A and B are shown apart, each in its own frame.
Chain A
Amino acid sequence: MIQIMIIKNFFIALRQIAIGNKKYYMWISFLSFLVLLGISAYAGQINRGLIATAMRDQVSWGLYISNFTFLVGVAAAAVLLVIPAYIYNFKPIKEIVLFGELLAVTAIVMCILFIMVDMGQPLRVWHILPVIGAMNFPSSLLAWDVVALNGYLIINTAIVFYVLYRLSIGKEYKMSVIGPLIILSIPWAVSIHTVTAFLYNGLSSRPFWNASILAPRFLASAFCSGPAIMIVLFQIIRKLSDVEIENKAIFKIAELIAYAIGLNLFLLGAEVFKEFYSGSIHSEPVKYLYFGLHGHNNLVPWIWFATAMNITAFFMFLFPRTRENFVTLNMACVFVITGVYIEKGMGLIIPGFVPDTLGEIYEYIPTMQEILVTIGVWASGAMLYTFLLKFAVPVYTGKLRFGLRAKGIVARDIMTRHLITVSPETEADEISKLLISRRISAVPVVDADNKVIGVVSESDIIFQEIRHEPEVAERLGKLVLPEAQKGKKLGDTASDIMTSPAITALEDTSMKELIRSIADRKIKRIIIVDGKGHPVGIVSRVDILRTLDNIKLDSLKEGKD
């Protein structure tokens, strides 16, 4: 029986992916197009062999491994959110850590794809597995990476799905269950990037990589680009869905990025000093990278561009004025993502091979086929992340619930969580903007102790706007405004215009009671509060409609079973 439930819920979740508005279908079609482009380029590569790429014996890794290295960093950076969220219990970040972990899962999947497209014999991938294959563990760092990356994938998938599962059945997740996993995920995140650094670091044949500063540099740069990607994604998520992500959380992450870039630039400086001051023959790759060697200078403009991007981004993240302005913040994010993508990608992999071990210089420029395959992998990643969000967002906000039975449904099961609140001093104009931008119809007003003292709804604002024309107001008031609006005083702040007291109910109020309450008082929504009177969610009429619809669906299916 439980299996049937799980399978059924799986399909309900899957259905989420297929439902969306026009923009969503356009986005998915666009990504599908890019994925298909990538697949056809990859089919060509399989057909002809890796000769379709610009890689050769001299430079035997290229764009694919560069992207792999960059994405390991993105995956590792999820830890930057986990630490403050769970260890220091920093609430604003805790609320959004789920989306960071979904990004980590996506990034690891992309890493695996990049390794697969780089392999000469992808069908033999099972040879690398323990037991059925012949994994060269612990000797090969690539074997370590297989363990580290897949372990990280499993840990993060487990955390994410456990949290979503609990939320989807209307319960809070138990820290006693995922606590140990979360604690484990922190050193593990550090390990995936360390092991990936060691993969290059351990090769005495490649002086450019054979520097002990490599692993620290990897981590520092990962903590620049990963969180920057998250900042951009969080803004998109909160714009396109009703997930509330506080500015406070975004600015905190931005501040952490400033420190990470500072550290990254310091480590880079330390390495540049050592290479150029000592000036041994082993500095040739660095010379090639920054100044060109014997007239070969393909990477030179790129690395200086990346360096300029990183330094500019550093100052933009450092100063609160630019960090807390969304225009400059997003510019800085794009700068640091670009900078690190070049520096930790091609800027790291290619000079490892130039000049090669016998002194030859082969200048690598990726072919169109390589670029298309790379775009295809990125598009697959974007599609995977979109699908994961499509499922995770409604669960997170409480719009998607499983296993509901009409009997026994309480407010906690159907309410929309993570609601936005305003203080009594908030200006009416500001509330109006909030309602429009978040596409909600009302917002609770809380006092300094986070107790609900009223609600400001669309109609309160409309009433405010027409107050200067008493005639219209009176007529309109008769038509559309509920009884409660009449005879209210006028003003400019939330406390002036709110409907007070707010109609509230406790989390365990049954749905029947909620319906009765809404019907009897002719109201549109009920604020759900916990025992202390703090708001925890909101049940609007559409929440009830959705629940009734779900129940119908469930009972229909049971009839068939």
Chain B
Amino acid sequence: MKQDRKRCIGRRTFLQGAALGLASVALPLDKADASFWEAFFQKHFREMNEAEIKKVLSRLEKDYEDKYRKEIKVGNEKPMPGVLFGYGLDLSRCIGCRRCVYACVEENNQSLDPQIHWITVLRFRKGEKWVDLENSEKYYNPAQVPEKEYFYMPIQCQQCENPPCVRVCPTKATWKEPDGIVVIDYNWCIGCRYCMAACPYGARRFNWGEPGRPAEKINPKTHYLGNRPRYKGVVEKCTFCIQRTRNGRYPACVEACPVGARKFGNLLDPQSEIRYAIEHKRVFRLKEDLNTNPKFYYFFAYGK
């Protein structure tokens, strides 16, 4: 009996040790300052009032400054009334140069190591099955583009009007804004990756490791729902460069495209370039049969 009791104490101490160990894994106690707990208890973005949002933005700016030793602005530009963003991509022009990919990475502060790209450019062999994803090539790397026997198709978030990712998110951490952009609150996402399973376009990216990007490469003009630096363990994706487009600018990929394959504009404005493309070209959308209703239109301006 005595021996039993001794063992019992031994076990209890062991359990306490294990519990403490667990706690230290779960709670970064060295970071247990006010900012950590403020971040921990931060409310859902859409449930905060203006004052609360302002406080969060300034806390984030301070955190980023501490981390990158550089002033970073975190904006919260609101959607403009009467605007629904739409995107057009002319497959007959695209030469597969991936300049859009690099411009996107530069603009949107993606992690360089591990590497995260929001735009995937696929290469298809001409004259075979139409948009045969099964036999497409994502890692093509020729000495020169375009290649004669191939055509190219960049794919990014299609900003669906009926987004499956939003439907499945268990915490409402991702939603569709009134201007049609599907956004993510990086401070609310729990990292379950259900949205990635639900997305039919492989558009969502996960921060599998700590995002790696040197301070000098950080774009300091950011948006809370867009290109501000992200965290390990959350999902991110294309936001139509929300920090630019809500200020009346083009997305970085549109500006970077050397052949003018990328069109962007307000779907509600009859005079917009995107409306012109939709009305005058034969457009299609990816995986129409899934009824996701993307606001991303592909077309061939001229045949070749």
| Docked pose: A125 CA to B26 CA in angstroms | 12
A83 within 8 A of B: no
Chain A residues with Cβ below 8 Å from B150 are none
Q: Does B72 contact A (CB under 8 A)?
A: no
Selected contact of A357 from candidates B8, B202, B208, B209, CB within 8 Å: B202
User: Looking at B138, B170, B231, B232, which has the most chain A CB atoms within 10 Å of its CB?
Assistant: B170
Other than the given A49-B232, A120-B206, A357-B201, 6 more pairs (CB < 8 A) read A18-B4, A46-B25, A118-B193, A119-B190, A140-B170, A140-B194
Chain B residues positioned under 8 Å from A353 (CB to CB) = 197
Do residues B205 and A39 form an inter-chain contact, with CB atoms below 8 A? no
B104 at the binding interface (Cβ < 8 Å): no
Contact of B122 among A15, A46, A203, A358 (CB under 8 A): A358
**Once the chains bind, are B164 and A205 in contact (CB under 8 Å)?**
yes
Assess whether B168 is in contact with A128, with CB atoms less than 8 Å apart.
no
With known contacts A119-B191, A121-B191, A146-B170, A284–B208 Cβ distance under 8 A: no
The docked-state distance in angstroms from the alpha carbon of A118 to that of B233 is: 10
Instruction: Specify the chain B residue showing the minimal Cβ separation from A58.
Output: B202
A-B contact count (CB 8 A): 172
Q: Which of B171, B199, B232 contacts A205 (CB 8 A)?
A: B199
Distance, CA A307 to CA B72, complexed state (A): 57
Interface residue count on the B side (C-beta < 8 Å): 61
State whether A19 touches B4 (Cβ < 8 A).
yes
B233 touches A203 (CB 8 A): no
Please indicate the chain A residues that have their CB under 8 angstroms from the CB of B12 in the complex: 18
B44 interface residue, CB < 8 Å from A?
Answer: yes
Range of interface residues on chain A?
35 or more
Q: Considering only CB atoms, which chain B residue lies closest to A44 in the complex?
A: B25
Query: Among B18, B138, B192, which residue has its beta carbon within 8 angstroms of that of A39?
Result: B18
Binary per-residue interface labels of chain A (175-217) against chain B in the complex, 1 for a CB within 8 Å, 0 otherwise? 0000000000000000000000001101111100000000000
CB of B269 within 8 A of chain A?
Answer: no
Taking A19-B8, A35-B18, A124-B188 as contacts, is the C-beta distance between A358 and B138 under 8 angstroms?
Answer: yes
A120 B202 Cβ-Cβ under 8 A: no
Which residues of the other chain, B, contact A202 by a CB distance below 8 angstroms?
A: 168
Q: Mark A26-59, 1 if CB is under 8 A from B, else 0.
A: 0010001001100100110010111101011110
Please give, as numbers and ranges, the residues of chain B lying within 8 Å of A200 by CB-CB distance. Answer: 197
Whole-angstrom CA separation of A48 from B209 in the bound complex? 6
| B128 in the interface (beta carbon within 8 A) | no
**B193 and A61 contacting across the interface, CB-CB below 8 Å:** yes
User: Is residue B149 contacting chain A, with contact meaning CB distance below 8 A?
Assistant: no
A123 CB within 8 Å of chain B: yes
Say yes or no: is A272 at the interface (Cβ < 8 Å to chain B): no
Task: Check B172–A134 contact: CB distance below 8 A.
Answer: yes
Q: How far is the CA of A360 from the CA of B155 in the complex (A)?
A: 13
Q: How far is the CA of A530 from the CA of B22 in the complex (A)?
A: 51
Q: How far is the CA of A216 from the CA of B291 in the complex (A)?
A: 26
Which of the segments B75-83, B90-98, B129-137, B218-226 contacts the partner chain?
B129-137
Known contacts A39-B25, A57-B202, A120-B206: does B167 contact A204 (CB below 8 Å)?
no
With A39-B18, A43-B25: A51-B134 Cβ-Cβ less than 8 Å: no
> In the complex the two chains form, is A50's CB within 8 Å of B133's CB?
no
Give the docked Cα–Cα distance between A46 and B28 (Å).
Answer: 10
A143 to B196, CA, bound (A): 16
Q: Smallest Cβ distance from A216 to chain B, in angstroms?
A: 21
How many whole Å from B57's CB to the nearest CB in chain A?
19
Partner of A120, one of B135, B172, B234: B234
A334 at the interface (CB under 8 A from B): no
Question: Which one, A19, A115, A134, contacts B171 given CB within 8 A?
Answer: A134
From residue B163, how far is it (CB to closest CB) to chain A in Å?
Answer: 11
Cβ of A161 under 8 Å from chain B: no
Q: Do A120 and B22 have beta carbons less than 8 Å apart?
A: no
Which chain A residues in 115-141 approach chain B with CB under 8 Å?
Answer: 115, 118-125, 127-128, 133-136, 139-141
Q: Is the Cβ of A134 less than 8 Å from the Cβ of B200?
A: no
A36–B188 contact, CB under 8 A?
no
From the candidates A18, A58, A128, name the one contacting B190 in the complex (CB within 8 A). A128
Report how far A57 CA is from B193 CA in the complex, Å. Answer: 9
**Which chain A residues lie closer than 8 Å to B231 at the CB level?**
121
Decide: A120 near B168, CB < 8 A? Known: A204-B290, A205-B199, A358-B133: no
CA distance A218 to B104 in the complex (A): 42
B132 CB contacts on chain A under 8 angstroms = 359
Task: Name the one of A55, A120, A141 contacting B233, with C-beta atoms under 8 angstroms.
Answer: A120
Q: Does B207 contact A (CB under 8 A)?
A: yes
B140 at the interface (CB under 8 A from A): no
Q: Are B170 and A55 in contact (CB under 8 A)?
A: no
Chain B residues numbered 134-188 whose CB sits less than 8 Å from any CB in chain A: 134-136, 138, 155, 164, 167-173, 188
- Across the interface, A281 reaches (CB within 8 A) one of B134, B210, B290, namely B134
- Contact in complex: B134, A136 (CB < 8 Å): no
In the assembled complex, B189 has its CB within 8 A of some CB on chain A: yes
Tell me which residues across on chain A come within 8 A of B4, comparing CB atoms.
18-19
Report whether B208 and A142 are in contact in the complex, using a CB–CB cutoff of 8 Å.
no
* Inter-chain contacts of B40 with A (CB < 8 A): 123
Instruction: Determine the distance from Cα of A39 to Cα of B19 in the docked complex, in whole angstroms.
Output: 11
Check A140 against B202 for contact (C-beta < 8 Å). no
Q: In chain A, what residue has the closest Cβ to B194?
A: A142
Neighbouring B residues of A51 by C-beta, 8 Å: 114, 208-209
**Contact of B7 with A by CB under 8 A:** yes
A124 touches B190 (CB 8 A): yes
**Which residue of B172, B233, B290 is within 8 Å of A119 (Cβ)?**
B233
Decide yes or no whether B120 CB sits under 8 A from chain A.
yes
Closest Cβ of chain A: how far from B171's Cβ, in Å?
A: 4
Which A359-401 residues have C-beta < 8 A from chain B?
359-360
Chain A residues lying within 8 Å of B207, measured Cβ to Cβ, are: 49, 120
Chain A residues whose CB sits within 8 angstroms of the CB of B47 once the complex forms: 134
Inter-subunit contact A57/B122 (CB<8 Å): no
Any B CB within 8 A of the CB of A89: no
B134 close to A205 (CB less than 8 A): no
Residues of A within 8 A of B167 (CB): 139-140
Report yes or no: A358 in contact with B202, Cβ–Cβ below 8 A. yes
Query: Does A170 interact with chain B (Cβ within 8 Å)?
Result: no
Report the separation of the CA atoms of residues A35 and B11 in the bound assembly, to the nearest whole angstrom. 14
Q: Which residue of chain A has the shortest Cβ distance to B116 in the bound complex?
A: A57
CB distance from B205 to the nearest CB of A (A): 6
Asked if B198 is at the interface (CB within 8 A of a chain A CB), the reply is: yes
Chain A residues, Cβ within 8 Å of B134: 281, 284, 355, 359
Give the one of B164, B205, B231, B233 with max A CB within 10 A: B233
Q: Mark A450-487, 1 if CB is under 8 A from B, else 0.
A: 00000000000000000000000000000000000000
Pick from A32, A134, A141, A204: contact of B188, CB below 8 A. Answer: A134
- Chain A residues with CB under 8 Å of B192's CB are 115, 118-120, 142
Is B21's CB within 8 Å of the partner chain A?
yes
Cβ of B14 within 8 Å of any chain A Cβ, yes or no, is yes
CA distance A146 to B234 in the complex (A): 20
* Residue A271 interfacial (CB < 8 Å): no
How many Å from the CB of B139 to the closest CB on chain A? 9
CB distance from B56 to the nearest CB of A (A): 15
A28 and B134 alpha carbons, distance in the complex (Å): 50
Which chain A residue has the least Cβ–Cβ distance from B131?
A359
CA distance A135 to B169 in the complex (A): 9
Residue of B nearest to A355 (CB): B134
Chain B's nearest CB lies how many Å from the CB of A113? 11
Q: Within A86-125, which residues are at the interface with B (CB < 8 Å)?
A: 115, 118-125
Kindly provide the distance from the CB of A264 to the nearest chain B CB, expressed in whole angstroms.
Answer: 24
CA distance A43 to B40 in the complex (A): 20
Q: Answer whether residue A25 sits at the interface, using C-beta atoms and an 8 A cutoff.
A: yes
Q: Give 26 pairs: A residue, B residue, CB < 8 Å, sorted on A.
A: A51-B208, A53-B208, A57-B196, A57-B205, A60-B196, A60-B206, A119-B191, A119-B192, A120-B189, A120-B206, A121-B189, A121-B190, A121-B234, A124-B190, A128-B190, A133-B44, A134-B171, A135-B171, A146-B170, A203-B164, A203-B198, A204-B200, A205-B199, A353-B197, A358-B122, A359-B133
